[in-house]
Structure 1
Amino acid sequence: MYKVSTLADEYKKKLVTADEAVAIVKPGDRVHYGTGCGSPVDLDEAMARRADSLKDVHILSCITIRKAPSKLYLATQSNDQVRFESAHFSGADRKMCKEGRCWYIPMNFNELPSYWVGNDCGIDVAMFQVTPMDQNGNFNLGPQVSDMRGVIEGAKKIIVEVNENMPLAQGFQTQVNLADVDYIVEGSNETLAELPTKGATEIDRQIAAHVVERISSDSTLQLGIGGLPNCIGQMLADSDVKNISGHTEMLVDAYVELFNAGKLTNNKAINKGSLVYTFAGGTKKLYDFIDGNPICCNAPVDYVNNVDVIASMDNFVSVNSCIQVDLYGQVCSESGGYQQISGTGGQLDFVMGAYHSKGGQSFICTPSTRTLKDGTKESLIAPVLTPGSIVTTPRSATHMIVTEYGVANLKGKSTWERAELLINVAHPDFREDLIKAAEKNGIWKNTSKCTF
């Protein structure tokens, strides 16, 4: 740590232009672009300006939230120059993947910080956005602590891009000190990319109703992103349920609604009074809510997603979504066949943590069908997963599957019973075909108990 009298001088010594900072990137370097909203803007543009000189550079990221595609990506044409690798795909990553430019890093999110330290996954240069430096020489990482402590510890060189519009996130391990920074770039202060709140569909509302009726007062809640979680948040805000706590991987707008409705008290066993999260993504309303707010506790993902930490809170409720479920209860939440869509993230962590919580519940939600490009419908409860689909939550861990037709509690159920329960919550138009497939596969036979 520096003395206050020397902070300004040391800051000036390390202050450079974006072009000067990225000049340290060498052929073969592994460059971490930050997590979530921390992805660099001016530094990315500077990397793009020297694209012709780059060779075999790996750009690492996780859950990138950007206003526009990476300028470096647009300026390069092949993996011989730059290869993008992501631990959790965003929309931009999916586009690059389809073009053969981005590769997925399989991982359990709670382990990600350790990947960057002493695991043959070293980082040569880390560059990411931060808040302006405070009087103690600290730059706040903004609302995406996530895996960043591992990034900071593992990186040989660190470049920070100062953004005056980065929300200041309260919590722990939320800072990087001037002493650990090699170069400082004062950026163009772009406002953070927003993830607009999706409107809930009628099916979302039906699924949400099944979940909300099972949530009691004094529960701790984990929600993901999308129309469904926001619908659940709004229904809880309008319900008689009270004394809700928050402990979640991703902080979304739904928690602001719960707070404004007086439902979010965070009176849980640990971190009492704090809304704990590891990264945030939402609208300006969410970012403004986070900025300097002592109620919001941004914490590293190896703590937030720790199964034992989750399980230590009674009545923990985990709500996640998926892409497809098979009749064994295997859940795919990250790929469509061989096409990577998102990532494993912390779904399994929260599924297991919630189940081991006293009174805990894990809900994995999906519409019963999806509409294909030709207008036909396909059941999202399938006899078997589509070839190439990744099992995100194994059948042994799956607790409750929810569709608009109800809830299937799979814990302790045989393969026969699972098939029966899942067919019960499938779309009626597909139940007969599912029955035939289950019989053919030898996992179900007709019984007098059958309810469909």
Structure 2
Amino acid sequence: MYDISLIHSEYKDKLITEDFAANLVKSNYRMNFGLGTGCSVYLDRALAKRIQQDELLRGLEIQTEIAIRNDYLETYKINAPVDRVRFYSSHFFNQDRVMQQNGNCWYVPILFNEENLYWGLEGNTFDICAFQVAPMDKYGNFNFGPINADLHGIIKNSKIVIVEVNEKMPIALGYESHINISDINYIIEGENPDLATIEHKSATEDDKRISEFIVSQIGNNATVQLGVGALPNCVGRMLADSDIKEIGAHSEMLVDAYMDLYNAGILTNNKRTDKGLSVYTFAGGSKELYDFIDDNPICCSAPVDYVNNPANIAKIDNFMSINGCIGIDLYGQVCSESVGFRNVSGTGGQLDFVQGAFRSKGGKSFICCHSTRKLKNGQKVSLIHPTLPPGSIVTTPRAAVNYVVTEYGAVNLKGKSTWQRAEMLISIAHPDFRAELIKEAEKMGIWRNTSKITY
């Protein structure tokens, strides 16, 4: 039988100030500042002060994941030289992109479903990890809030574990969604900052046309995974306005669209393997979404090696995976991470869900892409390329791609030859670029003048 007085005594013994925590850091330490809405605030702030005051502190490495923040890391804002502190991210987000452009942030390529395994490998362990949690419950547990992902893998492979208590952190129910005080080295209390929110851009007319194609492919009893951005959220909201019934949620990221589906009476999870549960590994969105998660038994936070495991996804009938991309070539290779040599996003779980959804009985995977984009000089360029531009990262290989959708239609590339793929992708390219794409495909030897498609 547990003794609550002993738990509170242990809490007091482990309670430290943020300055004490910063003084634990030594030169050449490798640190993880957590992920998503749980990224370190207190240690980050105190360590920034210490770096400015201690010229001998050098060679620091700080890693984050899906850093959902209102501002940059304080340890970055002090503009310390790269030989003193450098940053890494396995999920490039808004701030990471700017930090990279300024020469002080590097991407860590991952497959999200296996990321828990990375941090135990030689050279990948952490000296310190620090992240925000909800206040301790009477059993000595600290809830992670809207983040789970690979947090236990980080904790397991960190020499010092520090939790930063935030009274505004919602309680996210689920599987392995907490840490016990016995597994913690230190606790910091602070001013309890508001959780950072994500404002998704409004859907464009092209987003709506793409969403209409996808929604027409989704029927009753489907389980839906929505990716990040305006387009997947547009799909979710369009589903909420439809007459489709009995939708389930199993998603890497829980976004506001799922709350819309629930409020519309469509998200029930009644036909899922995990009946009644909206399963996710991290959440990001509005304050209303965080309030929706708080102590809500239908929201199930779980580790990424469960949520994103393609074998687990495949066991769910009628699984519909919806993700965006930056561009695609006539071979069907999908780039969702870079514009040329500039890294703008991460692999995340796109490939996990593309593979899992296709193996699901009745399942489908959709890669969504606008047919064009405008450059800063006003020039319109095709996002369906003959070959991906130099520097482009292949996020989803051509063999894995199922449906590709633009505002001009949807095509299924599975089982199609290279010339069939070229024809099909050109048929959903912007009309202004189709003739040019045909010429390039002829040069590449993947298209002949035997097209069965009328343009």
Asked if TM exceeds 0.5, the reply is yes
Give the alignment of 1:289-368 within 5 angstroms.
289-368=292-371
Aligned to 1:25: 25
**Unaligned 5+ residue runs, structure 2?**
none
User: What is the alpha-carbon distance in structure 1 between the residues aligned to residue 271 and residue 123 of structure 2?
Assistant: 39
Give the 3-state SS of the residue equivalent to 2:321 in structure 1: strand
User: Is the 1:37–1:65 Cα contact (8 Å) retained in structure 2?
Assistant: yes
Shift of 1:120: 3.2
Q: Distance in 2 between matches of 1:348 and 1:135?
A: 40
Counterpart in the other structure of 1:99:
102
2:87 maps to 84
Which of 265, 279, 284 in structure 1 is aligned with 2:282?
Answer: 279
**CA deviation after TM superposition for structure 1 residue 42, in Å:** 1.9
**Alignment-derived partner of residue 136 in structure 2:** 133
Q: Is the 8 A contact 1:118 1:154 kept in 2?
A: no
Distance 1:265 1:236 in 2: 13
Amino acid at match of 1:332: C
Paired position in structure 2 for 1:37: 37
Measure how far apart 1:267 and its partner are: 1.8
Are residues 1:177 and 2:180 paired? yes
Contact 1:27 1:56 in 2 (8 A): yes
- 1:386-405 matches, cutoff 5 A: 386-405=389-408
Structure 2 residue identity aligned to 1:381: I
Paired with 1:78 and 1:342, the residues of 2 have a C-alpha distance of: 24
Q: Displacement, 1:189?
A: 0.6
Counterpart AA for 1:5: S
> Deviations along 1:235-261, whole A, 9 cap, x unmatched?
111111100000000000000000000
The CA distance in 2 between the partners of 1:368 and 1:118, in whole Å, is: 41
Equivalent residue for 2:147?
A: 144
Match of 2:202, as an amino acid? G
Cα distance between partner residues in 2 of 1:118 and 1:322: 31
Q: Is the 8 A contact 1:197 1:253 kept in 2?
A: no
Counterpart CA distance in 2 for 1:272 and 1:141 is: 23
Alignment-derived partner of residue 381 in structure 1: 384
What CA distance in whole angstroms lies between the structure 2 residues aligned with 1:113 and 1:86? 15
Relative distance call for 1:448 and 1:45 in structure 2 (3 A) is: closer
> Any idea what SS the aligned residue of 2:37 has?
helix
Cα-to-partner distance string for 1:202-236 (whole Å, 9 max, x where unaligned): 01000000000000000000001222122111211
**In the alignment, residue 238 of structure 1 is paired with which amino acid?**
D
Letter of the 2:454 counterpart: T
Between the aligned partners of 1:10 and 1:262, the Cα distance in structure 2 is: 45
Distance 2:381 2:79 in 1: 38
In the alignment, the residues of structure 1 paired with residue 264 and residue 410 of structure 2 have an alpha-carbon distance, to the nearest angstrom, of 27
Quick check: 2:423–2:451 contact (8 Å CA) kept in 1? no
Which residue, 412, 434, 439 being the options, matches 1:436?
439
Shift of 1:2: 6.2
- Give the paired residue count: 452
Match of 1:122 in 2: 125
The equivalent of 2:47 in structure 1 is 47
After superposition, residues 44-83 of structure 1 pair within 5 angstroms as: 44-52=44-52, 53=54, 54-83=57-86
Unpaired runs of 5+ residues, structure 1, are: none
Q: Distance in 2 between matches of 1:304 and 1:403?
A: 28
Q: Which moved more, 1:3-12 or 1:138-147?
A: 3-12
Q: CA deviation at 1:446?
A: 1.4
CA distance in 2, matches of 1:212, 1:238: 11
Q: 2:229 aligns with which of 218, 226, 248?
A: 226
Q: Tell me the alpha carbon deviations over residues 310-339 of structure 1, each in whole angstroms, 9 at most, x when there is no partner.
A: 000000000000001000000000111111
Q: How much identity, in percent, do the aligned residues show?
A: 57
Distance 2:442 2:195 in 1: 52
Amino acid at match of 1:353: G
Q: Does the 8 Å CA contact 1:35/1:147 hold for their aligned counterparts?
A: no
The match for 2:209 is: 206
Q: CA deviation at 1:110?
A: 0.8
